[in-house]
A and B are shown apart, each in its own frame.
Chain A
Amino acid sequence: DAGITQSPRHKVTETGTPVTLRCHQTENHRYMYWYRQDPGHGLRLIHYSYGVKDTDKGEVSDGYSVSRSKTEDFLLTLESATSSQTSVYFCATGTSQPDTQYFGPGTRLTVL
């Protein structure tokens, strides 16, 4: 697996608080992604990045923002967490040769 770490790995927070999840990669991959995984929904793309400071929305971006100030770091922020954002969050990196995605270990977030 590619060198992808996520922090924290587990977090419990309360409704209305801000939360930031971090993804760090050591592979120098250009593309990075944030997904959420929920039962019955598979993996859904929240936001993605195609370069430093270049980001765009995915299919479930409401309530989330991202930043990428360095190639290796991709941050996901929940400005004001809600219970509907309780989920497992995966970061992934992408390459074009081969055309694959590599996933981090995930962060389990619980919003009470």
Chain B
Amino acid sequence: GQQVMQIPQYQHVQEGEDFTTYCNSSTTLSNIQWYKQRPGGHPVFLIQLVKSGEVKKQKRLTFQFGEAKKNSSLHITATQTTDVGTYFCAGPTGGYQKVTFGTGTKLQVIP
């Protein structure tokens, strides 16, 4: 079945440093979604990318969808302690709005 992998699994950064997580799918995706889960919380939808090569920005967060629509990245510029959490990508799987979630990247920001 479809597999969605993310790297790295964990990342510790000093506050103010940049951070990037990468998402790779075993199959071509019609879209890619990104979610953030704060410690002790639930996943919250951040954004959806649909077009090949698409780039979207949300303040300090930049999301990219690869040209082949099999990979994606999330880049955070100048991290802040509020960025702490686990970031998941997710790709559609077999209809009914189902998605397969990536393994997640846990970000820790050191003040």
Residues of A within 8 A of B (CB): 1, 31, 33, 35, 40-45, 48, 50, 56, 58-59, 90, 92, 94-96, 98-106
Residues of B within 8 A of A (CB): 1, 31, 33, 35, 41-45, 48, 88, 90, 92, 96-104
Q: A1-B44, A43-B101, A99-B33 are in contact. List 15 more A-B contacts (CB 8 A).
A: A31-B96, A31-B98, A35-B101, A42-B101, A42-B102, A42-B104, A90-B42, A90-B43, A94-B98, A96-B97, A100-B33, A100-B45, A101-B97, A101-B99, A106-B42
**Count: A-B pairs, CB below 8 Å:** 57
A99/B104 in contact, CB under 8 A = no
Residues of chain A contacted by B98 (CB below 8 angstroms): 31, 33, 45, 48, 58, 94
B43/A43 in contact, CB under 8 A = yes
CA distance A59 to B104 in the complex (A): 18
20 contacts across the A-B interface (CB closer than 8 A):
A31-B98, A35-B101, A41-B103, A42-B101, A43-B101, A45-B98, A48-B98, A50-B96, A90-B42, A94-B96, A94-B97, A98-B48, A99-B31, A99-B48, A101-B33, A101-B35, A101-B43, A101-B45, A103-B44, A105-B41
Shortest C-beta distance, B39 to chain A (Å), equals 12
CA distance A34 to B100 in the complex (A): 13
Residues of chain A contacted by B41 (CB below 8 angstroms): 105
A104/B42 in contact, CB under 8 A = yes
Residues of chain A contacted by B102 (CB below 8 angstroms): 42
CA distance A100 to B31 in the complex (A): 11
- Ordered nearest first, which 4 A-B pairs have the shortest CB separation? A94-B97, A103-B42, A43-B101, A50-B96
By beta carbon, the residue of chain B nearest A49 is B96
Residues of chain A contacted by B88 (CB below 8 angstroms): 42-43
By beta carbon, the residue of chain B nearest A29 is B97
CA distance A66 to B67 in the complex (A): 39
CA distance A82 to B23 in the complex (A): 33
Residues of chain B contacted by A56 (CB below 8 angstroms): 96
By beta carbon, the residue of chain B nearest A43 is B101
CA distance A103 to B102 in the complex (A): 16
